[in-house]
């Protein structure tokens, strides 16, 4: 059903060929992954196996294309005039933390060019190498998929322990963070867990924004093309009532909540 991916393969992805990033695709003039206008680098490979994954073609660590970090920096510099005061470069996925050491080099070079950096991650890893990357990350977009560990494990195949730990570490640094939450009917829309999610992060000083992202079926065809069984093929998007409920709950705990 899923592409095989072991921790040892992920470690190899991080260290092999340090001059290149394994990427899935690039987006110019992106406006959905961080503030302002951004160049978005979607990297290849992910250890989560989310039942609602919209990009299953990014899971395989052996897929994608190898692109030199130097070339990516040059592309960003060419687009710098369009970034303005708020824009910059976002690295998304897939899961960027699988290539954390190479991204540290990438972000350092971007900072030398005066370009803002943003990291969009599920928080799968929380270690020294990740902390080094976060030192050069101007804004962290952290996707906290569920506050209940048992449900999180059923939802993604893995624990939420590292994700919550990474959020706690980022808070301790005092550096900017946005939180993201995908609203999936029957999976992540339980009012009691939405309340718990909000309560968990309510006192974080670094959380500038919370984004609610409603589930959709736009990626269903990719599962079919890859001959993968899509667990949520019959799941409808959340209703207006469900989206309002999630918005109302989160607004009790956060000043800036955006329903995408």
Taking residues 151-170, report their average pLDDT: 97
pLDDT at 10: 61
pLDDT at 8: 47
Residue 5 above 80 pLDDT? no
Structural domains of the chain ordered from first start: 7-259 (3.20.20.70)
Of 9, 43, 12, 6, nearest to 119 (Cα)? 43
Taking residues 213-236, report their average pLDDT: 92
Taking residues 9-22, report their average pLDDT: 75
Report residue 115 as tokens: 């370009």
pLDDT at 72: 97
Q: pLDDT of 185-194, one tens digit each? A: 999 999 999 9
Q: What is the C-alpha to C-alpha distance for residues 28 and 136, in angstroms, rounded to an integer?
A: 21
Question: What single string gives the DSSP state of each residue in 28-83?
Answer: EEE-SSSSSSEEEEEES--S---TT-S-GGG--TT-SEEEEHHHHHHHHHHHHHHH
pLDDT-derived band of residue 4, with 50, 70 and 90 as boundaries? very low
Of 24, 106, 115, nearest to 78 (Cα)? 115
pLDDT-derived band of residue 218, with 50, 70 and 90 as boundaries? confident
Q: pLDDT of 162-171, one tens digit each? A: 999 999 999 9
Q: pLDDT of 62-87, one tens digit each? A: 899 999 999 999 999 999 999 999 99
Q: pLDDT of 86-120, one tens digit each? A: 999 999 999 999 999 999 999 999 999 999 999 99
Taking residues 147-174, report their average pLDDT: 97
pLDDT at 175: 98
Torsion of CA 87, 93, 98, 103, to 10 degrees: -20
pTM of the model: 0.93
Tell me the angle at which helices 7-15 and 100-112 cross, rounded to the nearest 10 degrees.
30
Taking residues 222-241, report their average pLDDT: 94
Enumerate the β-bridge partners of residue 214: 183
Residue 3 above 70 pLDDT? no
């Amino acid at each position: 059903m899923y592409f095989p991916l072991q921790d040892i393969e992920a470690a190899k992805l991080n260290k092999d060929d340090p001059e290149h990033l394994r990427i899935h695709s690039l987006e110019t003039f992106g406006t959905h992954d961080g503030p302002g206008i951004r160049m978005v680098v979607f990297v290849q490979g992910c250890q989560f196996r989310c039942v609602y994954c919209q990009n299953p073609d990014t899971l395989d660590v052996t897929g994608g294309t190898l692109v030199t970090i130097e070339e990516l920096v040059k592309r960003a510099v060419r687009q710098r005039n369009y970034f303005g005061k708020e824009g910059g470069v976002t690295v998304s996925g897939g899961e960027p933390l699988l290539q954390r050491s190479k991204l540290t080099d990438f972000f350092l070079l971007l900072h030398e060019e005066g370009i803002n950096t943003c990291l969009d991650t599920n928080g799968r890893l929380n270690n020294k190498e990740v902390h080094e990357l976060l030192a050069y990350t101007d804004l962290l977009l952290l996707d906290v998929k569920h506050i209940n560990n048992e449900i999180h494990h059923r939802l993604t195949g893995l624990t939420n322990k590292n994700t919550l730990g990474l959020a706690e570490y980022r808070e301790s640094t005092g550096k900017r963070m946005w939180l993201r939450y995908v609203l999936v009917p029957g999976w992540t829309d339980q009012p009691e867990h939405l309340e718990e999610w909000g309560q968990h992060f309510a006192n974080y000083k670094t959380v500038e924004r919370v984004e609610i992202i409603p589930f959709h079926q736009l990626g269903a065809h990719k599962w079919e093309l890859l001959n993968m069984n899509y667990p949520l093929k019959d799941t409808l998007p959340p209703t207006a009532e469900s989206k309002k409920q999630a918005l109302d709950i989160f607004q009790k705990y956060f000043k800036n909540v955006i329903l995408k």
